[in-house]
Copies of this chain bind each other. A is one copy, B any other.
Amino acid sequence: MASTSTLNLDGPPAILGALFKAKAEKKMTFEEIGKAIGRDEVWVAAAFYGQAKLTGEDISKLSNVLGIDGASLQSEIGDDWYPYRGLGPAVPTDPVVYRLYEGVLVYGNAIKAVIHEKFGDGIMSMIDCNITVDKKQAEKGDRVVLTFEGKYLAYSKW
Contact = CB atoms under 8 A, between A and B. Distances in A.
A94 B103 contact: no
Contacts of A3: 17, 21
Interface range on chain A (Cβ under 8 Å from partner): 35 or more
A109 B88 contact: yes
Interface in A78-121: 80, 82-88, 90-119, 121
Of A40, A128, A155, the most chain B CB neighbours within 10 A belong to: A155
Contacts of A99: 123-126, 150
A2 B31 contact: no
Contacts of A53: 121, 155
Contact of A156 (B49, B119, B128): B128
Interface of A: 1-4, 6-9, 11-12, 14, 16-18, 20-21, 23-25, 27, 29-31, 39-46, 48-49, 51-53, 55, 75, 80, 82-88, 90-119, 121-133, 135-136, 138, 140-158
